[in-house]
Each structure stands twice: as C-alpha cells, then as structure tokens.
Structure 1
Amino acid sequence: MVKVAAIQMCSGVDPERNMRSVEKLVREAHAAGATYIQTPEMTGALQRDRKGLMEILRPEATDLIVAGASALAKELGIHLHIGSTAILLDDGKIANRGFLFGPDGGVVTRYDKIHMFDVDLDNGESWRESAVYRPGSEARLADLPFGRFGFAICYDVRFPQLFRAEAVAGAEIVSLPAAFTRQTGEAHWEILIRARAIENGVFMIAAAQAGVHEDGRETFGHSMIVDPWGRVLAIAGGSGEAVITAELDIAEVAAARRKIPNLRNAREFEVKETAPDRAAVA
C-alpha cells in the first residue's frame, strides 16, 4: 500500500510565485500522508507568448523549479514528481520535461513529452506545440519502492500505444500530468484516463492545471486518480488549487490483469485491403 497525491494548480507566468504554490500544496499533501506527490504539466509557468516564455527559461542546472523541488523532496523524504516544466536545451530549443525526485533529492528519472499538441479545435482555438517545443523520443520507466512507474504527459493520453508499451514492460502505475484545455477536457478527459487504466490494468495518476490563467488560456482541471479496474478513487474540481489523495494497493494491478488478461492475449495481425470479387459481380 502507498498513499499518493495529485496536486492541482493554476500556474501563472512567474516561476517564483508558482514554486511557492508548489511548496504550499506539497506540504499539505505530505501532511495528509502522501509519499508520492505529483504536480501538473507546466508547473513552472504557463506562458503562451513565446517571447515571454524565453525570458523566464533556464537550463536544467539553474532552473528554479528543479532546484526547489529537489530540496523539498529531500527535506520531506518523499518522491516528488514535477509533472513537467519548460527547460532550455543546449541548442536553444525547449523541452516539456517532467522530473521525478527521490527522497534524497536526486533525479530518479526525466521524461520529455513525446506527442506535440498540434490541433485546430472549434471556436477558433488552435495550438502548435511543435513550433515551440522539441518532442521527446523515449518512453521511461522507474522502479520505486512501491511499484514500477510509467510516464506520459497530457496529449500523450491520446496515443494508447505508449501506455501499452509501458504496461507490457511492467508498469503498474502511469503518471499523466496535464494542462488539458477546457474544450477538450469537457469532452474527453475522464474517459481517456479511465480507458488507459482499464485497457492496461494500471493505476493512473493525473495532476492537472485548472482555471483561467494569466496568459489567457483556460484549463479543465479535474485532477484524477484511477484504479486498474477504471474506478475513480479521487477527483478534484474544475478550477483552482486542490490536493487529492488515494491509497493504492499495487496487488490490484495483478488482480485486474488476471481477470482480463488482454496484455497476455494480444496477438500480432496484418491490416489488408479487401479486393473486389469481380468474378462474383460478373
């Protein structure tokens, strides 16, 4: 058994102010008994203006969120997962990068968001993450004392092959920090998270951004923790800061996979077009 927490935020454009919110909410989650705590995508800052983003960007070695989270994890003796923050890379490009810190303050693993949110939605809402961020190319797993973790970020949830590959590789819990738009969240957020949990027999922990942000965007919130049978163990509201917690019994992963052994039953197949039967037509 392990108690986990998902922190819901409404990050602004100032990393220092956002880090103060992280510290307050992490301490609240720790006081509630959580030993793994996850923050949302873009914890450090939500800033859609590229010039404004470049002005606050730092490389990993000097990033405020990285340093602050490392110190906080060590002080509290917890696994602290910064869902993601923008990191300046050596070539001048930007990574949407998540960090999992261990109880010693060290980085257990990093994960760069693989799938870029390049979409055109209704009502003129349009996003082009690939114009700003360099996509990652590696799925990541981490063995923690209470289970094997897989990693994803936000739009990754729409690519089930990532979750299946991590589950086949032994993931028992998959993290999904996010900053879902209100429009897409209202339509798809809960059903996608529950589907990924059910089809892979994994716990899902999804810390979300929520509310109207300083840069003008609106995010859906509803941070969630879901079990391998698709049951919602905890869910937050649709705006503002929140801390949700749940007790995870990792044995439920094996139990769900015994009941529905789809990972084991999967088969290779080919997709072929069907040619018309011209003789039958004649």
Structure 2
Amino acid sequence: MGSRRYCVAVVQLDTGSDKADNLERVSRYIDEAVERGARLISLPEVMNFIGKSGDGEEPEPIPGPTAELLMEKARRHEVHIHGGSFSELNPEGGRPFNTTVMIDAHGAIVARYRKLHTFDVTLPDGTACRESARVHPGDEIVTAETELGRLGFAVCYDIRFPELFRLLALEGAQVLFTPANFTLPTGKDHWEPLLRARAIENGCYVVAAAQIGRKPRFVAYGGSMVIDPWGTVIARARETPGVTLAEIDLDFQEEVRARIPSLRNRRSDVYELRKRQAPPRRCPPSTRGPGAAPS
C-alpha cells in the first residue's frame, strides 16, 4: 500500500467538436494540476470530443491517440490519471463503448471500465431517448488496486444505480470516480444529492469531474466536486472550466467506516427480491419536477 494522504485534482471541461483543441486543453490542465501538487487527476465524461449529436463520437481503440496522450502525461509527471470517459472503438464492430481508463504513475493502463447503464426513456410527450442505440453498454464491474488505494469506476447515469456502488465498496473500493456530462435540469436537483448518498452509504470518497457549458443538445451542469466518506463536499469547482483540488485521506475513510459500519451490518441473508401483491393506493395530486432529461 502506498500513500494514505494525497492531493486529487478534478478537471472541469467545456469539451467541443475540435478534438485536437480539446486534447490540448486537457494537456494544459494536467500540467497545471501537477504544478499545484496533484498526484491523482480525474477528467470528465466525453472528455476528448462532443459532436453535433451531443454525444462522444469519433471512437478510438484503446490504446489509441487519446489514451496514449494520457499515458505519456502520467509517465512524464509520475502521476495517476483517471481518463474520464471517451468513445472506444468496439473491437467486434457495431456501437462503440463509453469507456474510462485508469493509468498509473508509470503510464500503464491498470483498469478499463465501460459504462454499464444507458439512458433509455420515453418522455410524456412521446419523445424517445435511446442512448443504447448509440452506445454499447459494458458488462463488468471494475475496481483497481493502486498505490493510492483501491479505486472503483462509474460513468454519469450510473450514479442512479446504488447497487453498482455497493458492489464496488464490497470489492474494497475506497475512492469512487463518477465522470459526467449531466444536464442542467437534472444536475441542479439530483447531482449533489446522489453523489453524497453514494459517498455516505458506502463510506467512500467520490471524485466527480463534469462537463460544463452549452452543448448541442443541452446545457451541461458542471458542479465538479470531491466528497468525503462522511458526505461532506470538500471541494467544488467554480462555474467555469478549470482545475479543483482536494485531499484524499484513507485513514479518515477507514475511521468513517468504523464509526458507521453499514457494510458489516448488511443482512445479505435476507436480501431477496420478492413479488408482493400491493393494494392500489389513492394519492393526492403532487407537484412534479420537469420531464426527464439525459443524465
């Protein structure tokens, strides 16, 4: 086991449709984060390209141009880099994956995670959003043991599925990454509460790097932050692209789990989904939030 305390940087981006320019800015932000003392740097979802459709496009193999840039930066600066996510060329053809890579301080890829959950919904007006038509979902829960602790991975919409995060924690994850391109309507109401819940219920740090700015299909919320295992937001980005720093303290993480032993107190002997016949309920009208939007 390596460092118990270290500096993490979350990089908030306003990614556009010029891949070369996007990667140049990523490179500069990594350099800045290193100069400011970061040993672990995290990037947002679709960090290298957002085209006219509003999605990550121009899929690449891994390793490929984007991954190799991050690998070279990690090796040169001797830092760990979490690559946010970008479109990965499907080796079997068909739809690409939305993939994150974890790169160690030697420049080696030590983990690859493909986004599990795709946002598929039909809105009340009949409009259908089918992320699964454009992105092939992954099929593996991924953690990585590093000198900075055991790390666990998710991407954007995944944060709405607490069972994924519980499994990551049960596999020993201490720091959870949630790169995102959240919309403004869902972001302002759901982003922070969901992230804090994932941190609290699992006793983990949550590192959440996000997109900001106007995209082709929506305005991205931003709100990049780092949350400690107690659920406290210990760092929050301004409403602009840039680098935000926080401290990871794995001794504090262990202390929180000792104080709130919810992982040890689980009742897995009775956790089973059962079908129940529930009587119909009559509820008074309620005030509803805005219609669903991609997140």
TM-score (norm 2): 0.86
- Kindly indicate whether residue 261 of structure 2 is the aligned counterpart of residue 273 of structure 1: no
Pairs within 5 Å for 1:166-177: 166-177=168-179
- Kindly indicate whether residue 39 of structure 2 is the aligned counterpart of residue 38 of structure 1: no
1:215-267 C-alpha deviation (Å, 9 max, x unpaired): 343110010100000001101133x3121111111011211111111111111
* Distance change (3 Å), C-alpha of 1:124 and 1:7: farther
1:117-155 C-alpha deviation (Å, 9 max, x unpaired): 223568998632101110001011111112110101100
Displacement, 1:57?
2.9
1:84-130 C-alpha deviation (Å, 9 max, x unpaired): 00011121320100011112211111100000022356899863210
Displacement, 1:272?
5.1
- Which deviates more from structure 2 when the two are superposed, residues 262-271 or residues 72-81? 262-271
Please name the residue that 1:19 is paired with: 23
Residue aligned with 2:102, SS: strand
Displacement, 1:274?
5.8
Query: 1:150 and 1:231 mapped to 2: Cα distance?
Result: 19
1:16-74 C-alpha deviation (Å, 9 max, x unpaired): 11100101111111111001000000011122539x966x333224x321121111111
Query: 2:73 and 2:18 mapped to 1: Cα distance?
Result: 19
Which residue identity is paired with 1:157?
I
Residue aligned with 1:264, SS: coil
Please name the residue that 2:233 is paired with: 232
Question: Does the aligned pair in 1 maintain the 2:56–2:86 contact within 8 Å?
Answer: no
Question: Does the aligned pair in 1 maintain the 2:15–2:48 contact within 8 Å?
Answer: yes
Please name the residue that 1:261 is paired with: 261
Pairs within 5 Å for 1:90-105: 90=91, 91-105=93-107
* Distance change (3 Å), C-alpha of 1:85 and 1:206: same
Query: 2:81 and 2:278 mapped to 1: Cα distance?
Result: 55
- Kindly indicate whether residue 29 of structure 2 is the aligned counterpart of residue 29 of structure 1: no
Query: 2:130 and 2:251 mapped to 1: Cα distance?
Result: 40
Question: Does the aligned pair in 2 maintain the 1:16–1:64 contact within 8 Å?
Answer: no
Please name the residue that 2:219 is paired with: 218
1:153-177 C-alpha deviation (Å, 9 max, x unpaired): 1000000000000101111110111
Which residue identity is paired with 1:76?
H
Question: Does the aligned pair in 2 maintain the 1:93–1:133 contact within 8 Å?
Answer: yes
- Which deviates more from structure 2 when the two are superposed, residues 126-135 or residues 150-159? 126-135
Query: 1:275 and 1:4 mapped to 2: Cα distance?
Result: 48
Please name the residue that 2:137 is paired with: 135
- Which deviates more from structure 2 when the two are superposed, residues 120-129 or residues 136-145? 120-129
Which residue identity is paired with 1:7?
V
Query: 2:32 and 2:245 mapped to 1: Cα distance?
Result: 11
Pairs within 5 Å for 1:1-282: 1-49=5-53, 56-61=58-63, 63-90=64-91, 91-120=93-122, 127-213=129-215, 215-238=216-239, 240-268=240-268, 269=270, 270=272, 271=274, 273=276
* Distance change (3 Å), C-alpha of 1:94 and 1:250: same
- Which deviates more from structure 2 when the two are superposed, residues 35-44 or residues 260-269? 260-269
Question: Does the aligned pair in 1 maintain the 2:153–2:176 contact within 8 Å?
Answer: yes
Which residue identity is paired with 1:95?
F
How well do the aligned residues superpose, as a CA RMSD in angstroms? Answer: 2.1
Aligned residues: 271
* Distance change (3 Å), C-alpha of 1:116 and 1:32: same
Structure 2: stretches of 5+ with no match in the other structure: 280-295
Question: Does the aligned pair in 1 maintain the 2:46–2:56 contact within 8 Å?
Answer: no
Which residue identity is paired with 1:273?
R
Which residue identity is paired with 2:158?
D
Which residue identity is paired with 2:21?
R
Which residue identity is paired with 2:82?
H
Which residue identity is paired with 1:69?
L
Name the % identity. Answer: 39
List structure 1 segments (4+ residues) > 3 angstroms apart after TM superposition: 119-127
Query: 1:124 and 1:253 mapped to 2: Cα distance?
Result: 45
Query: 1:39 and 1:241 mapped to 2: Cα distance?
Result: 11
Please name the residue that 1:279 is paired with: none
